[in-house]
């Protein structure tokens, strides 16, 4: 039987703005969001980071109690628990939070028989009764993201992320990511930020993305491929047709300009080019989905995320 921690109510202070899909908790001195879609530990960490937060750990008794309250309110399976930011991925058996706080300093205890280190279990889940358990990082669990309180201001792009820049030609906002990721990871990051992989809807928007790309010379891009950036379209192999992340064909979206010889569906290690990108000219390019490219996210300032 799980012992009950006291219930913690979310603050309704609207002045504390971070994201509309997060709740502010005075007791935790920050904002919290429970992700109901299970993910492996690395994807959970990356999603929280992309949202401007971190994978939550029961760093003190207040945060621990809020985490328990949220788990109860959101009907998390008490037999499963949720991922915490506690891990030993740097050194087997050396557990600490993402922020570097050792597990010995946290208000938690190991569940009976834990840690058992079966198959090198380097990630840690948190249970409603305040105990923790080591699991394989590839396992999928629900998780909580936490953002410590700080004074934040929403910008013109309806986000606190000032790397999103508004462009009057489209009345949309754009962010260039210099660190290369695969197309799927890039899609996840843009979505977590409250946007989407950029979709070109006109020649004007193509010029916008060309200008965004031009601000980043090759020596500022951390990818093998420094003249291409992933955007929001890919091929559906069953149809051999290209669709945007909004479900439109390129023609219906308003832009379908490729350089001569493209798409060429080149092979690399048995992989064909099924994901979409642009060259620095803003002409379209087909690229390998398993290779890491810089990417461009787009955000509609009128849209607020409610992502689970």
Q: Which of 96, 119, 148 is the last residue of a domain?
A: 148
Residue 160 maps to a domain: no
Q: Same domain for 188 and 105? A: no
Taking only the tens place, the pLDDT of each residue in 19-55 is: 889 999 999 999 999 999 999 999 999 999 999 999 9
Residue 15 maps to a domain: no
Q: Same domain for 106 and 67? A: yes
Residue 35 maps to a domain: yes
- Domain holding 270, by residue range, is 165-299
Strand 225-236, strand 293-299: pairing: parallel
Residue 305 maps to a domain: no
Q: What is the pLDDT of residue 258?
A: 96
Q: Same domain for 287 and 173? A: yes
Q: What is the pLDDT of residue 303?
A: 67
Question: In whole angstroms, what is the distance from residue 148 CA to residue 28 CA?
Answer: 8
Q: Same domain for 39 and 129? A: yes
Q: Same domain for 177 and 90? A: no
Q: Which of 99, 120, 148 is the last residue of a domain?
A: 148
Residue 156 maps to a domain: no
Residue 131: its H or E element: strand 131-135
Cis peptide before 47 (omega within 30 of 0): no
Q: What is the pLDDT of residue 1?
A: 39
Tell which phi-psi region holds residue 120, choosing left (phi > 0), alpha (psi between -120 and 50) or beta: left
Q: Same domain for 32 and 141? A: yes
Q: What is the pLDDT of residue 16?
A: 54
Question: In whole angstroms, what is the distance from residue 126 CA to residue 84 CA?
Answer: 6
The CATH code of the domain that includes 295 is: 3.10.100.10
Residue 59 maps to a domain: yes
Taking only the tens place, the pLDDT of each residue in 239-285 is: 778 999 999 999 999 999 999 988 887 777 677 789 999 999 999 99
Q: Same domain for 113 and 191? A: no
Q: Same domain for 172 and 260? A: yes
Q: Which of 122, 148, 174 is the last residue of a domain?
A: 148
Q: Got the DSSP string for the chain?
A: -PPPPPP-PPP--TT--S-TTSEEETTTTEEEEEEEEEE-HHHHHHHHHHTTSEE----SHHHHHHHHHHHHHTT--TTT-EEEEEE-SSSTT--B-TT--BGGGSS-EEPTT----TT---EEEE-TTSEEEEE-TTS-EEEEEEEE-------TTSSS-TT-EEETTTTEEEEEEEEEE-HHHHHHHHHHTTSEE----SHHHHHHHHHHHHTS-GGG-BSSEEEEEEEEEEEETTTTEEEETTS-BHHHHT-----TT------BTTB---EEEEETTS-EEEE-TTS-EEEEEEE-TT------
- Whether the CA torsion 224, 227, 232, 234 is positive or negative: it is negative
Domain count, the chain: 2
Q: Which residues of the chain have pLDDT under 70?
A: 1-16, 269, 303-308
Q: Same domain for 118 and 211? A: no
Residue 154 maps to a domain: no
Q: Same domain for 192 and 142? A: no
- Give the 3-state DSSP-derived string for 187-244, with helices as H, strands as E and coil as C: HHHHHHCCCEECCCCCHHHHHHHHHHHHCCCHHHCECCEEEEEEEEEEEECCCCEEEE
Q: Same domain for 211 and 262? A: yes
Q: What is the pLDDT of residue 242?
A: 95
Question: In whole angstroms, what is the distance from residue 35 CA to residue 52 CA?
Answer: 14
Question: In whole angstroms, what is the distance from residue 65 CA to residue 71 CA?
Answer: 10
Q: Same domain for 36 and 117? A: yes
Residue 3 maps to a domain: no
Q: What is the pLDDT of residue 305?
A: 54
């Amino acid at each position: 039987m799980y012992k009950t921690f006291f219930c913690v109510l979310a603050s309704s202070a609207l002045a504390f703005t971070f994201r509309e899909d997060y709740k502010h908790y005075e007791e935790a001195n920050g904002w919290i969001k429970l992700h109901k879609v299970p993910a492996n530990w690395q994807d959970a960490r990356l999603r929280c980071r992309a949202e401007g937060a971190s994978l939550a750990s029961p760093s003190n008794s207040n945060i621990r109690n809020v985490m328990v309250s949220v788990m109860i309110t959101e009907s998390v399976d008490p037999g499963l628990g949720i991922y915490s930011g506690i891990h030993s991925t740097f050194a087997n058996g050396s557990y600490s939070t993402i922020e570097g706080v050792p597990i010995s300093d946290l208000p938690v205890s190991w569940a009976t028989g834990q840690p058992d280190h079966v198959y090198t279990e380097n990630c840690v889940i948190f249970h409603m009764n305040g105990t923790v358990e080591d699991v394989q990082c590839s396992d999928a669990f629900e998780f909580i993201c936490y953002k410590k309180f700080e004074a934040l201001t929403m910008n013109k792009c309806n986000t606190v992320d000032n790397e999103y820049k508004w462009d009057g030609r489209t009345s949309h906002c754009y962010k260039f990511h210099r660190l290369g990721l695969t197309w799927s990871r890039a899609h996840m990051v843009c979505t977590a930020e409250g946007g989407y992989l950029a979709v070109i809807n006109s020649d004007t928007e193509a010029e916008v993305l060309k200008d965004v790309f031009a601000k980043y010379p090759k020596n500022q891009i951390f990818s093998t491929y420094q003249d291409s950036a992933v955007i929001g379209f890919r091929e559906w192999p069953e149809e051999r047709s290209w669709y945007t992340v909004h479900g439109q064909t390129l023609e219906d979206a308003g832009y379908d300009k490729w350089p001569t010889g493209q798409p060429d569906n080149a092979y690399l290690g048995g992989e064909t080019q099924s994901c979409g990108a642009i060259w620095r000219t803003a002409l379209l390019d087909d690229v390998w989905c398993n290779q890491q490219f810089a990417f461009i996210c787009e955000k509609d300032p009128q849209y607020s995320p409610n992502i689970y």
